[in-house]
């Protein structure tokens, strides 16, 4: 089971980061409790995708990548300016 949280980045990328992490922190405990009971807990993979519009500072992108990998784990986060997350979902479902 794949759960992907998606956020649109406006001017402040940190707002998108905070929103995704807050949503994850809110949803993860009840999902985990439910899935432990159904014995599906080990099959759940959480992912995060931030779609940014326009240009972005490279340094800020690297900082965002580090913070999001800390929250979701390496390889479980994408930060792109392409709104089509189909390729990411297909790649993630093969993992």
DSSP 69-92: HHHH-TTSEEEES----HHHHHHH
pLDDT in tens, the chain (95 residues): 788 898 887 655 678 888 999 999 999 888 888 777 777 666 778 889 888 776 666 667 788 888 888 888 888 888 777 777 787 777 676 65
Predicted pLDDT of residue 26:
94
Both structure tokens of 11? 């001017």
Within 10 Å of residue 4's Cβ, how many Cβ atoms?
15
State the pTM of this model: 0.75
Domain locations in the chain as residue ranges: 2-94
- Residue 89's pLDDT is 74
Sheet order of strands, 45-52 included: 2-9, 45-52, 77-80
Contact 76, 46 (CB under 8 A): yes
Q: How many CA atoms lie within 13 A of 36 on its CB side?
A: 6
């Amino acid at each position: 089971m794949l759960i992907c949280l998606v956020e649109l980045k406006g001017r402040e990328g940190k707002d998108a980061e905070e929103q995704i992490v807050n949503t994850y922190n809110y949803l993860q405990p009840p999902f985990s409790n439910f899935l432990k009971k159904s014995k599906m807990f080990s099959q759940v993979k959480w992912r995060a995708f931030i779609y940014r519009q326009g240009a972005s500072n490279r340094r800020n992108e690297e900082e965002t990548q580090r913070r999001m990998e800390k929250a979701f784990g390496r390889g479980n986060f994408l930060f792109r300016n392409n709104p089509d997350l189909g390729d990411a979902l297909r790649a993630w479902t093969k993992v």
